[in-house]
Amino acid sequence: MAGGGRLTREAFWFLRHGETDWNARGLSQGNVDIPLNSIGIAQAERAAQALLEGQAGREIATIVASPLGRARDTAEAVARALGLPVEVHDALREVSFGVQEGQPMAGWFDDWVEGRFTPEGAESFAQLRDRTVAAINHCLSRPGPVLVVAHGALWRAFRAEAGLPANVRTPNALPMWVTPPAAGGEAWAFDPLAMP
């Protein structure tokens, strides 16, 4: 674990935002507020429909989103389908990549995840891990099940805290049911929702 505390061991839904033009081009977005593109808007609507039809007894009670437009708009699509409001939590925002924002996600990104390099003006991966634990724990203090709508690098930090390989790309707008380890276990489990 990083130094920021322990994850609350409670199941929840996670949804990465839909696609943006920068996602499609392989550019690091960080805190640049890039909107969903037409594909991303369609992905958000598809995820909303999947969650409306497929919660299987795990009905969402609270939606908490990053303040960045791509995540907030994805959350709003789900909120419209489920008839729920969206709470915004600033600590769910994507990592700051500093001078690498808008640049290709090349070799530097792997070094950043491994803690060997932090771009000028950026958060380190260890700092992001600490912030992610606090942000997810805040979300899980809300009435559940909770849907967290956030970002790819933040989710890599969650994976690291959850005992899983960190540097795995999470698909855009694929809802996942996230469950803590069984007693005595180490790694969390992610169950992607079947999409229509």
Residue 38 CB contacts under 8 Å (≥ 6 apart), including other chains: none
- Dig out the tokens for 148 from the structure: 């967290």
The number of CA neighbours under 13 Å toward the Cβ of 45 is 7
Amino acid at 101: E
DSSP letter, residue 194:
P
* Rounded-to-integer distance, Cα 33 and Cα 36, Å: 10
Please answer whether residues 92 and 139 qualify as being in contact, where contact means their C-beta atoms are separated by less than 8 angstroms: yes
Q: Does the annotation mark 17 as catalytic?
A: yes
Neighbours of 193 (CB within 10 A): 19
Q: Does the annotation mark 94 as catalytic?
A: yes
Give bridge partners of residue 14 from the DSSP assignment.
Answer: 148, 176
> In the chain, at which residue ranges do the beta strands (DSSP E only) sit?
12-16, 62-65, 86-88, 146-150, 176-179, 189-192
Residue 135 CB contacts under 8 Å (≥ 6 apart), including other chains: 89, 91, 92, 150, 154
Where are the alpha helices (H) located in 102-190, listed in sequence order? 107-113, 125-140, 152-161
Q: Which of 94, 101, 123, 161 is catalytic?
A: 94
Q: Which of 17, 76, 89, 101 is catalytic?
A: 17
Active site residues: 17, 94
